[in-house]
Structure 1
Amino acid sequence: MTRIIEIPVNTMPASVLPKRAETPVIDIVPHKKWRVLDFNELWAYRELLAFLCWRDVKVRYKQTVLGGAWAILQPLMTMIVFSIFFAKLANLSSGRIPYPLFAFAGLLPWTFFANAISAAGQSVVGSERLISKVYFPRLIIPLASVGAGLVDFAVACGMLGVLMFAYGVFPSTSLVLAPVIVLGLTVAAAGVGSLLAALNVAYRDFRYVIPFLMQLWMFATPTIYMDSTSLASGVWSWILPLNPAFGLIANFRAVVLGGTLDTYSLAVSLAVSAAMFAVGTLYFSRVERGFADII
């Protein structure tokens, strides 16, 4: 017959007691009012960023007949309209490049840039339920909106390749700089979009300012007319590249269509894009802890 003897735990020697797994201690403390962007924290939530990007892509084309074809139709239809009014009626010259291809190569990156800023500017207000219930780096929300725009841009690049083949235009070796230029546009869109997203939480007027701002910005950028080397002369050649979309879009069209690269405008626009990203994310980090209370 087996006898079971109960021994109080507090009387057992420490060597006999089972070892407990150490639980990591996480200290949650308020951060400083102004802080530099924490890339390690963003990297830790990279799966969430990818999920939100894919969510935005699916929501955008949910219950649509054409689906992802709208990513191509938007710049394509705009190109057709501008080709009729500027190339046929106004006789606007585009140099050796056929005007429809010239316009599409400028409208393609601009459409990505404008849509990314508009979506990012409205993203935080549109995610109020998520922000008020779960903790994660809030900057992921506008970054996901910009990332979803990159998917549309990649799809529309296929149409650009078709038009280039149809017109017999081929890029030069400078095409290797295209990813750098697209990265600059992405960084600038993320910075401006994050700034507008933070401002839109506190001041809902910005929901009306954003579309108006993008309309004005488009005509300050060489999307449908000659590039920076033809437009900028004298002091304007030093000032216009301060608009990041000016130098980046003009040089994107140059490297894709085999034109002349403007290294000065490219360098200045890339620097301004980095500065915009720093300012936008810095302000976003400054005010993000009050989003759940205001939104």
Structure 2
Amino acid sequence: MVRYKQTVIGIAWSVLRPFLTMVVFTVVFGKIAKLPSDGVPYPIMVYAAMLPWQFFANALQESSNSLINNVNLLTKVYFPRLLLPLSAMAVSLVDFLISIVILFALMLWYHFWPDWKILTLPFFLFLDLLAVLGAGLWLSALNVKYRDFRYVVPFIIQFGLYISPVGFSSSVIPERWRLLFSANPMVGVIDGFRWAILGDSTQIFWPGFLMSVGATLLFCIIGISYFRRTETSFADII
């Protein structure tokens, strides 16, 4: 893959990054802070959240820069501009599929197996795709006009990691704040992944989940609408 060209370990980075993050979160939140893990091994609980988050973060980073990284194509060749951010998301999807290997390895190590709910995982992956599609299209279009967003996006991703239940379970959030917490689209995606992977060990807060789905659909509509409205001017502005 082009992304890992001239790297020593190549595509193994797609596995190493979420694995090392999982280790850090397990030590900080599981061992030091001693936060609850919904009755499952803490590494599996964290990694079940790392899968959708890592895909979202990587795809958002790549798609937001996809237009300004392909200036020659935009100014010399006509093609549907939507293909550039979509292709960037597709590359991150390949990384996501490779990263699943670590999840199976963790399950083997801890003798933990999912139940029938694992069959619902494609639905939650689709929600993840919608979340990154809306945000990625919106930010990629804004990046063409305002190059500041090239530096803002990494901050957004870092901030999003702190306000999403990646290193901890959503159950630690006080009930009076759960709906507000769920306004973050990734809360519903991550909770859905955990529900599908961990089975009866975790429960979905359905009012919050529905709010997250609504926020995801809203951002997706806004992102697609803004991108389509501005794409005719990309070649002139860039």
Single out whichever of 198-207 and 247-256 deviates more from structure 2. 247-256
Higher relative helix content: 2
Letter in 2 for 1:257: L
Q: Could you say what secondary structure the match of 2:55 adopts?
A: helix
Deviations 1:17-58 (A, max 9, x none): xxxxxxxxxxxxxxxxxxxxxxxxxxxxxxxxxxxxxxxxx2
Aligned partner (choices 179, 189, 193) of residue 252 of structure 1 = 193
Q: Matches of 2:81 and 2:123 in 1, distance apart?
A: 26
Written as runs of structure 1 = structure 2, the 5 A alignment for 1:29-178 is 58-178=1-121
1:82 offset after TM fit, Å?
1.8
Residue 276 of structure 1 aligns with an amino acid whose one-letter code is F
Give the equivalent residue in structure 2 for 1:29: none
Structure 2: stretches of 5+ with no match in the other structure: none
Task: Tell me how many residue pairs correspond in the alignment.
Answer: 236
Q: Is the 8 A contact 1:108 1:153 kept in 2?
A: yes
Q: How far apart in 1 are the matches of 2:180 and 2:25?
A: 27
Residue 110 of structure 1: how far off its partner (Å): 0.6
Give the TM-score of the pair, scaled to structure 1: 0.76
Task: Indicate which of 195, 211, 220 corresponds to 1:268.
Answer: 211
TM-score computed with the length of structure 2 as normaliser: 0.94
Greater shift, 171-180 or 150-159, is seen at: 171-180
2:195 aligned with 1:241:
no
Please name the residue that 1:47 is paired with: none
Tell me which residue corresponds to 1:52: none
Out of 261-270 and 99-108, give the one that drifted further.
Answer: 261-270
Greater gyration radius: 1
Gaps of 5+ in 1: 1-57
- Please say if residues 121 and 200 of structure 1, whose CA atoms lie closer than 8 Å, have aligned partners that are also in contact: yes
2-structure distance, mates of 1:278, 1:246:
19
Q: Separation in 2 of the partners of 1:179 and 1:64?
A: 31
**Cα distance between partner residues in 2 of 1:127 and 1:287:** 17
User: Offset of 1:198 from its aligned partner?
Assistant: 0.6
DSSP 3-state at the match of 1:222: coil
Q: Secondary structure at the match of 1:158?
A: helix
Give the residue type in structure 2 aligned to 1:238: L
CA RMSD of aligned residues (A): 1.4
> RCO greater where, 1 or 2, for CA within 8 Å and sep 6 or more?
2
Q: Compute the displacement of 1:230 (Å).
A: 4.1
CA distance in 2, matches of 1:224, 1:96: 15
1:212 shift after superposition = 0.6
- TM alignment of 1:200-219, pairs within 5 A: 200-219=143-162
